[in-house]
């Protein structure tokens, strides 16, 4: 995007193992001597953490979740705008490697297909928010939503506003991610998230290594 850095994002449904793979990639890249900035959306900055709390955990006084789809899309885009300007671009300009859990593909999949906003508009909104920033590599960990739900339930953490959506929502999100990957095959690496953790990590390393 800018500078001599490398920007890698991880995408996929909830429970697909993004965080584990991002951590393993970070450890490996750091072992080669490069500086890595590990971050995520929503919530990669101080302002972002406030937005994350609002967009993922807000409950109205009557117990309902009262953020409409357009407001939700704008909150994710606001987090993204601040995150890219204040953390991602400066790190890439310094020549560092940025490894990030989720980026604009999550908005296109969750707010576009999941909430049924216009996917093109959602993407344009994020591109406007970030002045057109796109990652060098996006790893999509593809997982059937029922397998993902079983993993999340085993975790025993309370579900956030998005995780709590029905299975049809998560099925639409999955299809949207796969369609995004097919449309931008140069940027995406799509992997079957049911494969063993170490095999996935090896494939991701092999894909990223020549770009370092």
The DSSP 8-state label assigned to residue 122 in this structure reads H
H or E stretch at 36 = strand 36-40
Instruction: Pick the binder of ligand TYD from 139, 162, 193, 201 (CB under 6 A).
Output: 162
3-state helix, strand, coil in the chain (%, to 5): 55, 15, 30
Instruction: Pick the binder of ligand TYD from 51, 56, 190, 204 (CB under 6 A).
Output: 56
Regarding 163 and contact with ligand TYD (CB under 6 A), the answer is yes
Dihedral sign from CA coordinates of 97, 191, 122, 43: negative
Regarding 177 and contact with ligand TYD (CB under 6 A), the answer is no
Nearer to ligand TYD, 76 or 208 (CB): 76
Query: Site for ligand TYD (CB under 6 A): how many residues?
Result: 15
Residues 60-99 binding ligand TYD (CB under 6 A) are: 76
Give the contacts of 186 (CB within 8 A, at least 6 positions apart): none
Name the minimum Å distance from CB 152 to ligand TYD: 8
State the Cα–Cα distance between residues 20 and 99, nearest whole angstrom.
12
Name the minimum Å distance from CB 171 to ligand TYD: 14
Nearer to ligand TYD, 76 or 91 (CB): 76
Residue 191 pairs with which residues in a beta bridge?
A: 141
Backbone angles phi, psi at 74, to 5 degrees: -70, -35
First to last CA, the chain: 14
Name the minimum Å distance from CB 212 to ligand TYD: 25
Residues in the site for ligand TYD, rule: CB under 6 A?
14, 40-42, 56, 76, 101-102, 106-107, 110-111, 160, 162-163
């Amino acid at each position: 995007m800018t500078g001599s850095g490398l920007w890698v994002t991880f995408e996929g449904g909830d429970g697909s193992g993004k965080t584990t793979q991002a951590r393993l990639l970070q450890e490996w890249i750091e072992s080669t001597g490069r500086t890595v900035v590990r971050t995520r959306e929503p919530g990669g900055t101080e302002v972002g953490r406030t937005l994350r709390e609002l967009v993922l955990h807000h409950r109205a006084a009557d117990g309902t979740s009262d953020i409409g789809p357009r407001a939700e899309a704008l909150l994710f885009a606001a987090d993204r705008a601040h995150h890219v300007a204040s953390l991602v671009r400066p790190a890439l300009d310094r020549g560092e490697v940025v490894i990030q859990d989720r980026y604009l593909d999550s908005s296109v999949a969750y707010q576009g297909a999941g909430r049924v906003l216009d996917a093109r508009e959602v993407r344009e909104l994020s591109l406007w928010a970030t002045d057109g920033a796109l990652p060098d590599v996006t790893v999509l960990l593809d997982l059937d939503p029922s397998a993902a739900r079983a993993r999340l339930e085993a975790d025993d953490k309370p579900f956030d506003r998005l995780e709590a959506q029905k299975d049809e929502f998560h099925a639409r999100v999955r299809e949207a991610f796969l369609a995004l990957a097919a449309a931008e095959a140069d940027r995406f690496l799509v992997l079957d998230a049911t494969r063993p953790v170490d095999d996935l990590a090896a494939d991701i390393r092999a894909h990223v290594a020549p770009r370092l």
